Structure 1
Amino acid sequence: MVERTDAGQAPNPLGEVAALVDGGDMDCGSGLLLLITRAMRRLEPGQLLGVRSAEVSVVTDLPAWAELIGHDLVTEVAESPDGPWWFAVSKAGKPAQAATVFTPGERLPVGRRLWIYTNFDCNLACEYCCAESSPKAAARRFDADLATEVFREFTAQDGREVFFTGGEPFMHPDLGALVRAAGGLERTILTNGMIFGRGARRETLEHLDRDVVLQISLDSATPELHDRQRGAGSWNRAVDGITLARSLGFRVRVAATLYDEDPKGVEALHRRLDDAGIAMPDRIIRPVAHEGFADKGVHVSLEGLEPEPTLTADGAWWHPVAVTDPYMRIADAPLPLSEVFGVVRDTLAVQDAAAQSGREVFRCA
């Protein structure tokens, strides 16, 4: 098995290893930690994981990672004084931190919540879309049969909540089947609220169970900001969508995405939502993540982003805002969930052990 993030074909000076990860110039604060965690989970105790890296911080961080977990660093070889560097790490029989995981704050237990990207095409091309969705985007639709398998495993592992997002989920022709497959779980659909008012999409909406929550995007109290960020006329149609969904008996959450939380703008939005009868717990104001289409916003990284495992038709990711970031990819397929959640738990265990010991092994340049 060879896992690569770099196409380099340098000769392996380590000898025979069970798996080889080529991390290119990634550091342990980004994609390398996920790669080596995933690869190590697939090995038997005593087998060797080979790691190649061109990032100088890994010379310090990878031995610290091995020590924290209880693995043995067997070999370290430098191709030159300036790298790249090669490491061989022997998998421990029992990870040292497996029984004692430090949990800071109120972290949501891994496996309780799951995100599904139903599709990536959208009727809008919002300027800050973290998923790079638009009318021109490839649909990459999540298959209904795959969803059935996912939710069967998710329920068996005591999962509770599922969030359907996109793209615009109501552009998926089998959205109803996807949502039904998650029956018995707490279900929320994230939507711009613009296209479910008529035709087949209206039928999909009306046939949804009324315990399904609709989270509709509304960025401002008046059209100016919302339309500037999402497209002309989108504010009025979103407001109409909120009104329609509530008239049909759905619980509606309203989510605003803002570059800068202008106090006056936020206050005005709250007043409008007061008038609309949207309860305070059903209001979400969130910053723009510097991902996808956004050319500015909050920087996200493995070390600063609490995990919310996210599935797409072609893989699994650390968090829904990071599905265009190859460094945040957990797996190359959405199943098995046991591996997806296992990689997340193992990564958190290392982060928590590092926090307890005062080490810094996850630097993001």
Structure 2
Amino acid sequence: MSIGAAVAHGRLPGRVWMYSNYHCNLACTYCLTESAPAVARRELPPTAMIEIGRQARDLGFTDLGVTGGETFLMPAMPELLAELATILPVVALTNGTLFNHRLLARVEPLAGLPVALQISLDHPDPETNDEMRAPRNFRKVATAVPELVRRGVTVRIATTVESLDKTTLERLCTLHRGWGVPDCDHVIRPIVRRGRAATYGLGVRAGQPELPAELTITAEGAFWSPFAPTVRDGKPDTDLLITRTTRPLSVPAHALLRLIEARPPGEDSTLNIR
């Protein structure tokens, strides 16, 4: 079966993920990649990401995802997202804390393009939100999101939690609705016990059977899922590595498809995470 046919028939998810980098201006308690300011950057050059995007389109994939680290620490990220959007629709994950006036001006051309910025916000109370992330994180996100929406940039909110009661969820939804982000653009997902979350004993255990298969490319190889190329005690995890080869993209794409087709019937992923 071709990659395009596998995507069209739902055998293979349509999005290809790329880890642009691993360093970050924050050091969140549950971070999958132990990202922080001084960690190894493990960057994918913009030229490589554009090449991967084009090959993904040619193979029959339908979407691109960019994650990190903090993606907007990559100097060319606004322009890179605009170029990727000419290839396939793209979602880029960000902590939302770097959007000063200069960066807001640079991302404004993304308005009207098939680009969504997925910004992390875990709790409607600033203190509770910031405990897991960083001081003043809530305030920076609460400032950035309305400014992005006002400029016409599509924003999604990602909430990563161990549990969320109904009242807290409603308060959180009231908050993002007030910023102009609809419920359909609010993603709620569990903490996954990999990376720094595993060090702190947080989240749900997740391996290949639990994680949806989405081809994920890093500077060090191709992985089963964007939740797979994690880092523990400074060392990259390789338990969910598919191939060290990342280009041509057909090599890891077909390797992933073979792994999916080898799974017993009915053995679908059990975590609904995006």
Fold conserved between structures, TM > 0.5: yes
CA-atom RMSD in angstroms: 2.2
Count of equivalent residues: 252
Aligned to 1:311: 217
In 2, Cα distance between equivalents of 1:322 and 1:147 = 19
Give the structure with higher Rg (CA): 1
What SS does the corresponding residue of 2:178 show, helix, strand or coil? helix
Residue 139 of structure 1 is aligned with which of 28, 41, 51? 41
In 1, Cα distance between equivalents of 2:46 and 2:79 = 6
* 1:194 Cα deviation after fit: 1.0
Aligned to 1:204: 106
One-letter amino acid matched to 1:345: L
In 1, Cα distance between equivalents of 2:156 and 2:162 = 20
TM-score by length of 1: 0.65
TM-score by length of 2: 0.85
Query: Is the counterpart of residue 239 in structure 1 residue 151 in structure 2?
Result: no
What SS does the corresponding residue of 2:78 show, helix, strand or coil? helix
Q: Deviations over 1:77-127 (max 9, x none)?
A: xxxxxxxxxxxxxxxxxxxxx79xxx9xx9954262111111111111000
Aligned to 1:95: none
What SS does the corresponding residue of 2:265 show, helix, strand or coil? helix
* 1:163 Cα deviation after fit: 1.1
In 2, Cα distance between equivalents of 1:309 and 1:345 = 9
Contact persistence 1:131–1:321 (CA under 8 A): no
In 2, Cα distance between equivalents of 1:327 and 1:300 = 11
Q: Deviations over 1:49-83 (max 9, x none)?
A: xxxxxxxxxxxxxxxxxxxxxxxxxxxxxxxxxxx
In 2, Cα distance between equivalents of 1:303 and 1:240 = 39
The list of structure 1 runs, each at least 4 consecutive aligned residues, that deviate by more than 6 angstroms after superposition, is none
Contact persistence 2:21–2:43 (CA under 8 A): yes
In 2, Cα distance between equivalents of 1:173 and 1:120 = 14
In 1, Cα distance between equivalents of 2:240 and 2:159 = 24
Aligned to 1:301: 207
Query: Is the counterpart of residue 220 in structure 1 residue 139 in structure 2?
Result: no
Residue 190 of structure 1 is aligned with which of 88, 93, 101? 93
In 1, Cα distance between equivalents of 2:77 and 2:154 = 18
> 316-325 vs 206-215, which deviates more?
206-215
Structure 1 residue ranges without an equivalent (≥5): 1-97, 359-365
Cα separation, partners in 2 of 1:111 and 1:287, compared to 1, 3 Å: closer
Q: Percent identity among equivalent residues?
A: 31
Aligned to 1:80: none
In 1, Cα distance between equivalents of 2:150 and 2:178 = 15
Contact persistence 2:110–2:153 (CA under 8 A): no
Residue 275 of structure 1 is aligned with which of 162, 178, 183? 178
Query: Is the counterpart of residue 250 in structure 1 residue 156 in structure 2?
Result: no
Structure 2 residue ranges without an equivalent (≥5): 231-236, 268-274
Aligned to 1:335: 247
* 1:138 Cα deviation after fit: 1.5
In 1, Cα distance between equivalents of 2:10 and 2:167 = 32
